[in-house]
Amino acid sequence: MIKVKLVGGLAEKFGKKEFELEHRRGMRVRDVVSILSRKYPPLAEKFERGEIIASVNYKYARGDLELKEGDLLILMPEIFGG
């Protein structure tokens, strides 16, 4: 399984902050984004534009990063501030 955490407005869109997905060999961050885009279609486009960022096991992750069994994937809006 892969644990997925959603932060900020994403948690509101999905109605939950955490859930698990079954791990599949060769699964990448972008595959999870694609799966989640079925419920919230703008997610994939926002991820590609960098408006949503990913972290795997608390390290920044790009879409092509391969996920492993037991990984923690966090998806969050990019934060701007000064």
How do residues 10-69 score in pLDDT, each as one tens digit?
A: 998 888 999 999 999 999 999 999 999 998 999 999 999 999 999 999 999 999 999 999
* 55 belongs to a structural domain: yes
* 82 belongs to a structural domain: no
Containing domain of residue 60, as a range?
2-77
Per-residue model confidence (pLDDT) at position 52: 94
Tally of domains in the chain? 1
Using pLDDT thresholds of 50, 70 and 90, give the confidence band for residue 80. Answer: low
* 27 belongs to a structural domain: yes
Distance CA 27, CA 70 (A): 12
* 25 belongs to a structural domain: yes
Per-residue model confidence (pLDDT) at position 3: 98
Question: What's the CATH code of the domain at 52?
Answer: 3.10.20.30
Average pLDDT for 5-12? 92
Average pLDDT for 76-80? 80
* 29 belongs to a structural domain: yes
